[in-house]
Each structure stands twice: as C-alpha cells, then as structure tokens.
Amino acid sequence: MERLEELKKRLTEGCPGLELRVNEPMSRHTTFRIGGPAALMALPRTITEAACVLKTAWELDVDPFFLGNGSNLLVADEGCPGFVVKLAGEFEEICLHPSPQNGQPLLSAGGGALLSKLSHQAQKWGLTGLEFASGIPGSVGGAITMNAGAYGGEISQKLLWVCVLDRNGEKQNFRASECSFDYRKSIFSGGDFFVVEALFRLEPDDPAAIKARMDELTAQRKAKQPLEYPSAGSMFKRPTGHFAAALIDQCGLKGLTAGGAQVSEKHAGFVVNRGGATCADVLELVRQVKERVLQQTGVELEMEVKVLK
C-alpha cells in the first residue's frame, strides 16, 4: 500500500492531467458486472501519459494489471489491492489510412477502442474481414492479447502490426508474424506488453453486403447466446477433441445455480449473472461444473476467464 501511495504521488506530480481513481469499483469495468474496488486505477489518454504511468510503476516495482473492456475478466469481491491501467482518450480512436500501392486500405485502432465499434466502422467504410468481431464485447488491445475470435474468424487474421509499450514505458512494434498467435493467446498474454495501437489490412466490399453478413451473425448470437444477462462470454477453454458447452449440457448442468450465478439455460458454455451474483458465487459454480464434468466424462475443463484478486 505504501508503494501505491508513492506511485499516486509521483504520477500526480510528474504527469499533470492524468486521471487517477482510488478504490474504483471494478464492477463498472467488467461485462460480468462483478468485482470490488481497485486500490488505484490510471486512465491514460495519450501515449505520453501511458509511458509515464508504466515507467513510474516500473521504477517503484509496482506490477500493473492491463485492463481492456473487462469482457474476459472476473474480479474478486474484495477487489484488487494493486494498480490497474485502462486506456482512454486517443487510444479509443479508429482511423482510415490512404491505400498503399497494392490498393488494400489500412485501418488503425487504439488499444482501447471497442472491437465491435471497429467492426462497424469498417463496414461503414466498405471494408470486409472483421464481421466476426461485431458481437465481441472486448477492446482491440484485449482482443489481440488473447487472439479473440468467433465464427471461424480471429483477430490475428487481418492484423499487420502491433504497437506496444513494455513495462518500462518504451514503445515496440511487432509484425503479426512475430506475435506467436495461437488459440486464445499471443506473445502479449504474459502481461509484459501493453497493446496501444494496431494496424489492419482489410479488403474493399459493398457495405450493404458486409452489413448483411454482420446481421446474420448477430441473429445467430441472439438465438444461441444469453446476451440478456451479464457474463464474460465462454467460461471455459475448448478441451482438445471436445466442446465445453456440449460436455456441460451432456452432464445435465444447464440452469445449475450458485447464488446469483447460473449456467445459462440457453448456452451451457456461459455462466451468467442473474442478478446480484458475486465472484464467490461464480467460482463455486465453476467448481461444481468442473467436478461434475470430470466425474461423468473424464474431461478436465479449464477456465478461459481470468480471475483478478
């Protein structure tokens, strides 16, 4: 706590204008709508502020937690006693760049931009390739960090390069081929780099045709996923040779509850907050699901959602 107080003091003095929040409720920053307060949160709006934040934290040996849109995150009820950094301001911008010689337009997005907004903006500009992302609630930075995907598409497929800050606040650029993308992970998954900007190469197409594909995917999501309740999306990773939702359904666990948390009755791969669910409720429900699935099928499920405590 002393180091956090010193960090707050140095950031206040050394980075005028930086937004700092003390005891910020994390339930405001996660799609689960669950979580106690973060002891200290910084919301840098420029690359200068972000570099200052990371460099100062590094000097004080404070380990920041990089927060995107909180769409794959469960925060402890007692909160997070550490330092959380969330991008704002210019990091939420999306820009179209003149076509290079090969004629394919380039699209840049800050790490704090919503992936759904990026997808819809690409559609308006008549650019195809990100339709799959229209319903993913994460940020661009978070999506790249975990190589988010849906309906056969992954964020890495249209990515050219990524700009990051390391823990010392220094900028580094990575080509997409250097990011070690795999199923729900990348070179950034370890938390040593903070994604601040990305560049995508998309292809021209008729905006109406792109929108039609997006509408079709939206209809599929609404029909199959419990979008009416707060959740963190798929609760479990896909086991080798299986599908987590199918295993959970096979074990008769749809509708299973623990406090305010429930295995969705619409999609067994989702755990939803039916109202007033706590982190403890969710973790207890996950424990029960994993235990029952292992007993009945011999398959051990692994959480895809991260837990911050």
Q: Averaged over 136-157, what is the pLDDT?
A: 92
Residue with more model confidence, 99 or 268: 268
Confidence band (pLDDT; 50, 70, 90) for 100? low
Res 202 pLDDT > 80: yes
Alpha-carbon distances of 296 from 94, 249, 271, 292, 300, rounded to whole Å: 48, 12, 20, 6, 10
Confidence band (pLDDT; 50, 70, 90) for 40? very high
- Name the average pLDDT for the chain: 95
Phi, psi of 130 (to 5 degrees): -120, 15
Q: Give me the active site residues, please.
A: 184, 234, 304
Contacts with 223 (C-beta within 8 Å, 6 or more apart), sequence order: none
Model pLDDT, residue 37: 98
Res 247 pLDDT > 70: yes
Cα gap 286→292, rounded to integer Å: 10
Res 5 pLDDT > 80: yes
Predicted confidence (pLDDT) per residue in 113-130, tens digit: 999 999 999 999 999 999
Predicted confidence (pLDDT) per residue in 256-290, tens digit: 999 999 999 999 999 999 999 999 999 999 999 99
Confidence band (pLDDT; 50, 70, 90) for 1? confident
Neighbours of 100 (CB within 10 A): 10
Q: Averaged over 152-156, what is the pLDDT?
A: 92
Q: Averaged over 144-149, what is the pLDDT?
A: 92
Phi, psi of 128 (to 5 degrees): -105, 155
Model pLDDT, residue 98: 79
Cα gap 173→47, rounded to integer Å: 14
Model pLDDT, residue 102: 64
Cα gap 45→50, rounded to integer Å: 7
Model pLDDT, residue 184: 86
Confidence band (pLDDT; 50, 70, 90) for 105? confident
Confidence band (pLDDT; 50, 70, 90) for 254? very high
